Chain A
Amino acid sequence: MFKILSKKEASPGVYFMEVEAPRIAKKAKAGQFIVLRVDDNGERIPLTIADYNSESGSVLLVFQVIGATTTELAALNVGDSILDFVGPLGQPSEIKNFGTVAVIGGGIGVAPTYPIAKAMKEAGNKVIAIMGAKTKDILIMEDKMRSVVDEVVITTDDGSYGIKGFVTNGIQSLVDRGEKLDQVTAIGPVIMMKSVVDATRDLKIKTVVSLNPVMVDGTGMCGGCRVMVDGKMKFACVDGPEFDGHKVDFKDLMNRQKMYRDEETVAKDHICHIGLGV
């Protein structure tokens, strides 16, 4: 059992949750994820690690309530426990001194970019974080990110904060002022990562994306997380989750993300109906 040490609703439906998992906290590296199962009837879902602290023995998760499992997770409180918590899974991010690096997060995708930004800075890079949100109120982790990077560029869809537009407008603003980016890491909704990749392809900037396809075991057994990269079948759980964004078949990925859309609604209704929901 893995105890919940803290819980905070950062914006409506978006939660920060620290989970006690000392061994995972000790071994985790930027870019890795965990798989959790809330209780004995639960499904296994992957969540990217948003931060880890080997001293307090905790792993930080940031999640948005979307389906049944995130609804169940949000209903848990400090002191409650998660039944199964496995990790750290996946290959860590490649961290070295690339020069100038842009770390791009969209929505709750900002969370997993934080440990990458921090590690990139520690490796000697000039790190610029581009953080995107629909509107100012739901932007997460701004202060935390500012404390580890050289510069923060904020974009909001409605223009309520920072540049009006998408994270791609953030990239453009850097290019326009003559910033030379040596590497980009982008994490967020698939459609956002695809837009970033389309933009950086023309700019010839190497771009890493972190994929979060459907997984069951998350340890290299089921094959559910297969993605096409450079025309070859890869498995996000053991070969990824990070891949060269210019080689990812996003059309294929987006189609596979839809596989359980109907079932997700049924499961969420079921959870709300039996009273476990928030």
Chain B
Amino acid sequence: MAVSMKKHEMPAQDPKVRRKNFNEVALGYDEETAVAEANRCLHCKVPKCMEGCPVQVHIPEFIEKIKTREFDEAISIIKETNSLPAVCGRVCPQENQCEKHCVLGIKGESVAIGRLERFAADTFMLKNKEVQPIKYADDAKKVAIIGAGPAGLTCAGDLAHKGYKVTIFEALHKAGGVLSYGIPEFRLPKDKVVAREIENIEKLGVKIEVNSVVGRLYTVDELMEEEGFSAVFIGTGAGLPRFQGIPGENLNGVYSANEFLTRCNLMKAYDFPNNLTPITEGKKVAVIGGGNVAMDAARTALRLGADEVSIVYRRSMQELPARREEVEHAKEEGVDFKILINPTEVIGDDKGWVKGLKCVRMELGEADASGRRRPKAIEGSEFTLDVETVIVAIGTGPNPIISNTTKGLDTDNHGHIIADEKTLATSKPGVYAGGDIVTGAATVILAMGAGRTAAKSIDEYLKK
């Protein structure tokens, strides 16, 4: 039987409808589509797909189980190496990872591995299958994890499976990290997916202590010396937002993407005043930046009621770092891409509110250190965008609380914690770190990969 060169489409909400609601955009495969897509897998003798997966999901094996409609087995295989499959099936950049290596991708489209992973995870959740708690030995060692985001949750899940008693300390009132405060509902449903995945980890016996800022409530040393933890994993994630440093960034109406998304996702500002956290948004919104966070902010801005939302990005579409799928979704919903444009000043009215964004047009010059062509301003091309809200989505720096309160923990000159590339061991014995606090802003799956690596290293360390 000839294999179709194209993936099965995944149904999605109509763009005209979805741009006004927060419901999930992509709707997932039904059983027949999933089985048909699984049948596209060639089961290569030497499967390349796994090479692209930061947590080494046994991809051909779980796809085989979908083919044969053994869905429980499919999810069991995924869960051996991936604690958050319903999340990964939705937000992983599969096109740069597993699917990039798929043989079918050479001449046509790769197998839709991400969509199949999502199908297996969602099918499991729908069945309300109980996760079996782990039986811990009486003398099981305790491990503290700082931050209940993708890195911390993964590390916790893996360590629990290895028999360690894990407590996660989370600064916010809700676990999930970026899955809860950052990625919007329409891309990653909070109650249906995130809360369920976290519950599954808790059911293993992992304790999550919310409202606990390590560095303030406990120092890392106190956790190890007074609270009885034999090892610590630091997965505190993205920290303070970066700004461009242009005039007017403190005007009212300028948000960091972190703040804008946190207000909307974690604090439910879209339902103000039933939820008390406010958000202010004008009818015309500019989002500065071209990453996934910028796409999330732009699409959230539309849903909050903006008439016009623009992405303002200083390079061209080719360099735009967001996932293609997110860019396409944003375009379909009506987000305008203003490329090769760089903001130079936020302009305020006489009451201190944003009334415009002064920009300059850019052109691409020689390639820089990152291999991307360096944008430079075109002289005399200044103009002003008429906007009332500006959202700055140009990245984040590391949170300083732990590095400032932990002796013997080395950081680089940006303040990121230094961890061994292979083991994620820090300069402090028994303390490991991974995710954005080490690498700077990256993806959910890379943070999860770090969580896995750290769990393995911590296990080896504690067995010594």
Contact = CB atoms under 8 A, between A and B. Distances in A.
Interface of A: 23-24, 27, 37, 41-44, 68-69, 83-89, 216-217, 219-224, 226, 228, 233, 235, 238, 252, 255-256, 258-260, 263-264, 266-267, 270-271
> A-B pairs with the 4 shortest C-beta distances?
A263-B278, A255-B352, A270-B273, A222-B259
B278 A267 contact: yes
Nearest to B210: A84
A238 B173 contact: no
B241 A86 contact: no
A37 B216 contact: no
A266 B211 contact: no
B1 interface: no
A220 B399 contact: yes
A266 B217 CA distance: 35
Contacts of B275: 41-43
Interface string B271-285: 011111110100000
6 contacts: A86-B173, A86-B212, A87-B213, A221-B262, A263-B278, A270-B274
A260 B280 contact: yes
Q: Most chain-A CB neighbours within 10 Å: which of B251, B258, B262, B273?
A: B273
Given A221-B262, A238-B401, A87 B216 contact: yes
A223 to B, nearest CB: 4
B276 A252 contact: no
B256 A222 contact: yes
A221 B173 contact: no
A86 to B, nearest CB: 5
Contact of A219 (B255, B259, B268, B401): B401
Given A86-B213, A266-B272, 11 more contacts: A27-B216, A44-B267, A87-B216, A219-B171, A220-B239, A223-B243, A223-B256, A226-B243, A228-B250, A267-B276, A267-B278
A252 B262 CA distance: 23
A233 B247 CA distance: 12
Nearest to A32: B216
B267 A216 contact: yes
Given A88-B216, A220-B400, A255 B251 contact: yes
Interface string B222-248: 000000000000000011110101000
Given A43-B276, A252-B250, A216 B213 contact: no
Interface string B386-403: 000000000000011100
B151 to A, nearest CB: 15
A164 to B, nearest CB: 33
B252 interface: yes
Interface of B: 171-173, 181, 210-213, 216-218, 238-241, 243, 245, 249-253, 255-256, 258-259, 262-263, 267-268, 272-278, 280, 352, 399-401
B401 A258 contact: no
Given A220-B399, A228-B250, A252-B250, A267 B258 contact: no
B240 A223 contact: yes
Contacts of B263: 216, 222
A224 B277 CA distance: 13
B258 A221 contact: yes
A226 B258 CA distance: 13
Nearest to B276: A43
B239 A221 contact: yes
A233 B245 CA distance: 9
B278 A89 contact: no
Nearest to B268: A41
Contacts of A271: 273, 276
Contacts of A43: 267, 275-278
Contacts of A37: 173
Nearest to B253: A259
Contact of B240 (A238, A252, A267): A238
Contacts of B267: 43-44, 216
A41 B271 CA distance: 10
A216 B276 CA distance: 12
A238 B250 contact: no
A85 B211 contact: yes
B421 to A, nearest CB: 26
B289 to A, nearest CB: 14
Nearest to B258: A222
Contact of B276 (A23, A68, A220): A68
Given A44-B277, A216-B277, A27 B258 contact: no
Contacts of B238: 221
Contacts of A224: 255-256, 259
A178 B385 CA distance: 57
A42 B275 CA distance: 6
A258 B252 CA distance: 8
B272 A263 contact: yes
A209 B273 CA distance: 32
A42 B266 CA distance: 11
Nearest to A68: B276
A255 B171 CA distance: 29
Contacts of B172: 217, 219
Contact of A235 (B240, B249, B252, B273): B240
B276 A42 contact: yes
Nearest to B279: A263
A41 B211 contact: no
B406 to A, nearest CB: 15
B273 A267 contact: yes
Nearest to B243: A233
Contacts of B243: 223, 226, 233
Contacts of A260: 278, 280
Contacts of B245: 233
Nearest to A221: B258
A42 B241 CA distance: 24
Contacts of B249: 233
B236 to A, nearest CB: 9
A224 to B, nearest CB: 5
Contact of B262 (A222, A255, A264, A267): A222
Residue among A41, A222, A224, A259 with max Cβ neighbours from chain B (10 Å): A222
